[in-house]
Amino acid sequence: MSEHLPEKTRNWSVLTPYLLVAPTVILVFLFTVYPSFQTIYQSLFQPGLSRSDPPIFVGLQNYVDLFDSTHFLGSRLMLIFRNTLVFAGATVAISLPIALVMALLVNRRVRGLALWRFSFFYPTVLPLIGAASIWAFLYADTVGLINTVLRSLGLPSVNWTGDPNVVLLSVTVVNIWKQTGFYMIFYLAGLQSIPRDIYEAAALDGAGYFQQLFRLTLPLLRRTTLFLLIVSFTYAFQTVEHLQVLNQGNPADRGNLLLYFVFQLIGSRRNLGYVNAITVILVGLLLIFTISNFLIFERGGDDDQ
């Protein structure tokens, strides 16, 4: 068929796929590839003494300072990095199992199913600032609902956003509440894509509900879980709005997280080299996490086969 086409038409048919892909490639290069390499390059410099002075090449010194506990930023970064790992780990470990349970509940035919689905998903559609403001009111020392309930039970009130021992827990709870419904939607879609005849065959073989759950449902949701692991962990590293409303990273960075720390440093011109270095470290960590999870799950899938 193609042999009978004019040469000009054949040439266009060869070029068409590349022309269709070209706009996307250009946009990805302009807004992803180029900024990434520019950030890495700028992380090797420190700003000049004045705006008119050229940047000063310092090599890897910005990275050395950030991991030096005696440096004014390095000492803060170690604490904030630990906070971020705890925050991200707790968010992933708690929100994904809850999201799965919620998806299992709303995947069944129960009375008021639409109301249950709306209730579980509602926090997700709230604006980030709005959700944080709701919890700021709940956490309030004197008029907050949580402390009011504690005092009615004869228990002491808690400074949820000011006590160094609980402030990170407070921020973690807000993030879990906000994101779990979003993860539920993906698990629900995964559950509804599983053929029903698989469960019917398992039931005929005498498999109970929990046997079906652990031997059929969870393995078949492996790729959904991998996707949600990456998304939830990445999102946890991007949390800024909650901190801005609840505690601004206080007290003494005990409630601070990595990206909000970058947000704080951007206000000072002399910190731009450190900001770029922290950004490179953050992206590197997320890439390592994503690739390692992908390899682990793929290896697990090959072993099952």
Split the chain (305 residues) into runs of 10 and give each run's mean pLDDT: 56 77 92 90 84 84 86 84 92 95 87 83 88 91 90 91 90 93 94 89 86 90 90 87 81 86 82 89 87 75 52
Amino acid sitting at position 113: L
Residues in Cβ contact with 136 at an 8 Å cutoff, skipping those fewer than 6 apart = 161, 245, 246
Please name the helix (run of DSSP H) or strand (run of DSSP E) that holds residue 164, with its range, or none. Answer: none
SS3 for 57? strand
End-to-end CA distance of the chain: 41
Distance CA 58, CA 273 (A): 9
Q: Rounded to the nearest 5°, which phi and psi values hold at 57? A: -75, 125
Measured in degrees and rounded to the nearest 5, phi and psi for residue 69 equal -65, -15
Rounded CA-CA distance 181/131 in Å is 13
Do 40 and 280 form a contact (C-beta atoms < 8 A)?
A: yes
Q: Which pLDDT score, from 0 to 100, does residue 300 have?
A: 57
**Angle, to 10 degrees, between the axis of helix 128-139 and the axis of helix 167-192?**
130
> What is the topology classification, in CATH, of domain 72-304?
MetI-like fold (1.10.3720)
The residues near 92 (Cβ < 8 Å, ≥ 6 apart) are: 229, 232, 233, 236
Q: Which residues, at least 6 apart from 266, have a Cβ–Cβ distance to it below 8 Å?
A: 272, 275
Question: The tokens of 75 are what?
Answer: 């000492």
Question: Locate tokens 């002491």: which residue?
Answer: 156
Distance between CA atoms of residues 7 and 205, nearest Å: 62
**Beta pairing partners, 45:** 57
Quote the tokens at residue 222.
């492996």
In the chain, where the domains are located: 72-304
Classify strands 56-57 and 45-46 as parallel, antiparallel or unpaired: antiparallel
How many Cβ atoms from other residues are within 10 Å of residue 126's Cβ?
15
* Predicted local confidence at residue 7, as pLDDT: 60
| Residues in the chain, total | 305
Strands (E) in the chain, as ranges, are 45-46, 56-57
- Residue 126 contacts residue 178 (beta carbons within 8 Å): yes
Predicted model pTM: 0.83
| Phi/psi at 143 (5° precision) | -105, 0
Please give the Cα distance from 134 to 148 (Å, whole number).
15
Please name which of 260, 252, 254, 272 lies closest in space to residue 236, comparing C-alpha atoms.
260
- Predicted confidence at residue 1, as pLDDT, reads 47
Quote the pLDDT of residue 301: 55
Q: For residue 91, count other CB atoms closer than 10 A to its CB.
A: 24
